[in-house]
């Protein structure tokens, strides 16, 4: 297990590659921001906006995929007030058993800023069955829901004939997820990232679930996207700073309701992530057990890159809080899936990476190596 020499990103992230000096893609990109010709990037963004206006047969210049959280709130207001475009917001909502009151409030808050919004709610029974399948087969219940969240936007863009789509960050630049095949603002290949895995929903097929049941989970083919002239743009490429802290602070000033949970109950020290439901933080715990990092690592990496935190301070926070989740959240999730807490832990244990984790004297999983060091696997 090798950590980036500048931040705390380990090389266990899928599709990541460090350079010869042992520096991760996120740090390499952050270092280039000082010398970026921002006027040139704004010229590119202006051309993109003109493309949207030129294809406004529907009355909308673009589509923005939203959840009502910190990133989508800031994006929507930026597109409307800075770029002067007329966006249609598209939100794939969680079923009633999963969405929180805070999540519903934040979507309402965003809409109140003056946006037309389409909400899509996939059938709850199929949603739960897909979540269950993803949890048991991949140790990742979000594998199906992420596909629905990201597929519904280009499907609506095609149906409404709105070819310009804005998403937020390019995960290759900020996280090091190089599977998306883009190192700039172009997002048409985003479906090739680790979780979406090409946008193919066939792994969800079963005796009860067929392709006709998975329209919300079916990402358009490259041919369909080309035919519809879709352009997916990472808006974060055009901002000097894209971070959890900055997006969260901006959106709080515009009505965003954030968490007040203890960091050790959520594995989240900012309280600005995954506000629409609680189980994503639990999935971060599972990710931590697979790869040795979770949400806290991703937050401190941003802060280290922007010079707002030292690496030593980051190590302390990651050690204390990363991969944590309360048993109450686990119990709520188990009730939803109709499994026992014991079965949940058996599944998570089976996906725990024993090359980087070992049990301590109390039987708890602990990293084998000190956080931030360089340890060959």
Residues of the chain scoring pLDDT < 50:
376-377
What radius of gyration do the chain's Cα atoms show?
A: 20
What's the distance, CA 37 to chain centroid?
28
Q: Which helix (H) or strand (E) holds 164?
A: strand 164-167
Cβ pair 295, 268 in contact under 8 A? yes
Q: In degrees rounded to 5, what are phi and psi of residue 88?
A: -105, 125
Q: In degrees rounded to 5, what are phi and psi of residue 174?
A: -95, -30
Q: In degrees rounded to 5, what are phi and psi of residue 233?
A: -120, 130
Helices 341-351 and 279-291: crossing angle, nearest 10°?
Answer: 40
Length of the chain: 377
Cβ pair 333, 327 in contact under 8 A? no
Question: Tens digit of pLDDT for each residue in 223-278?
Answer: 999 999 999 999 999 999 999 999 999 999 999 999 999 999 999 999 999 999 99
Distance linking the first and last C-alpha atoms of the chain: 5
Q: Is 255 exposed, middle or buried (0-12, 13-18, 19+ CB in 10 A)?
A: middle
Number of neighbours of residue 354 by Cβ within 10 angstroms: 11
Contacts (Cβ under 8 Å, ≥6 apart) of 78: 235
Q: Got the DSSP string for 238-257?
A: GSS---HHHHHHHHHTTT--
What's the number of CA atoms in the CB half-sphere (13 Å) around residue 302?
18
Q: Residue 366's beta-bridge partner residues? A: 358
Number of neighbours of residue 250 by Cβ within 10 angstroms: 16
What's the distance, CA 251 to chain centroid?
17
Q: Which fold has domain 36-238?
A: Rossmann fold (3.40.50)
Q: What is the pLDDT of residue 377?
A: 45
User: Distance (Å, rounded) from C-alpha 105 to C-alpha 288?
Assistant: 29
SS3 label, residue 293: coil
> pTM of the predicted model, to two decimals?
0.94
Q: Where are the alpha helices (DSSP H) in 12-141?
A: 25-32, 38-54, 70-81, 101-111, 124-138
Domain ranges of the chain: 36-238, 263-367
Q: What is the pLDDT of residue 84?
A: 98
Q: Residue 62's beta-bridge partner residues? A: 87
Q: What is the pLDDT of residue 193?
A: 82
Cβ pair 264, 296 in contact under 8 A? no
- For residue 371, what are the CA distances in angstroms to 3, 178, 358? 8, 23, 14
Q: Is 65 exposed, middle or buried (0-12, 13-18, 19+ CB in 10 A)?
A: buried
């Amino acid at each position: 297990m090798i950590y980036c020499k500048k931040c705390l990103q380990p090389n266990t992230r899928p599709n990541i590659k460090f350079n010869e000096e042992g520096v991760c893609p996120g740090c390499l990109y952050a270092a280039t921001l000082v010398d970026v010709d921002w006027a040139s990037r704004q010229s590119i963004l202006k051309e993109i906006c003109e493309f949207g206006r030129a294809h406004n047969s529907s009355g909308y210049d673009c589509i923005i995929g939203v959840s009502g959280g910190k990133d989508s709130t800031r994006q929507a207001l930026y597109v409307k007030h800075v770029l002067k475009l007329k966006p249609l917001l598209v939100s794939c909502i969680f079923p009633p058993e999963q969405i929180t009151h805070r999540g519903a409030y934040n979507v309402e808050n965003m809409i109140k800023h003056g946006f037309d919004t389409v909400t899509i709610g996939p059938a709850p029974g199929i949603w739960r069955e897909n979540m269950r399948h993803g949890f048991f087969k991949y140790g990742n219940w979000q594998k199906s829901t992420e596909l629905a969240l990201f597929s519904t936007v280009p499907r609506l863009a095609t149906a409404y004939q709105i070819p310009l789509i804005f998403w937020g960050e390019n995960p290759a630049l900020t996280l090091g997820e190089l599977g998306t095949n883009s190192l700039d603002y172009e997002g048409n290949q985003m479906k090739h990232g680790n979780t979406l895995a090409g946008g193919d929903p066939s792994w969800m097929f079963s005796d009860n679930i067929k392709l006709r049941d998975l329209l919300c989970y079916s990402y358009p083919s490259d041919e369909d996207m080309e035919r519809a002239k879709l352009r997916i743009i990472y808006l974060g490429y055009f901002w000097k700073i894209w971070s959890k802290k900055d997006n969260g602070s901006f959106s709080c000033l515009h009505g965003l309701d954030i968490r007040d949970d203890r960091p050790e109950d959520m594995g989240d020290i900012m309280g600005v992530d995954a506000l629409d439901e609680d189980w994503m933080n639990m999935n971060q715990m599972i990710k931590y057990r697979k790869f040795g990092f979770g949400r806290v690592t991703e937050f401190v990496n941003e802060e280290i890159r922007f010079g707002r935190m030292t690496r030593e301070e980051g190590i302390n926070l990651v050690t204390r809080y990363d991969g944590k989740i309360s048993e109450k959240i686990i119990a709520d999730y188990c009730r939803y899936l109709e499994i026992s807490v014991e079965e949940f832990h058996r599944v998570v244990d089976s996906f725990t990476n024993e090359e980087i984790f070992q049990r301590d004297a109390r039987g708890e999983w602990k990293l084998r190596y000190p956080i931030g060091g360089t340890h060959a696997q």
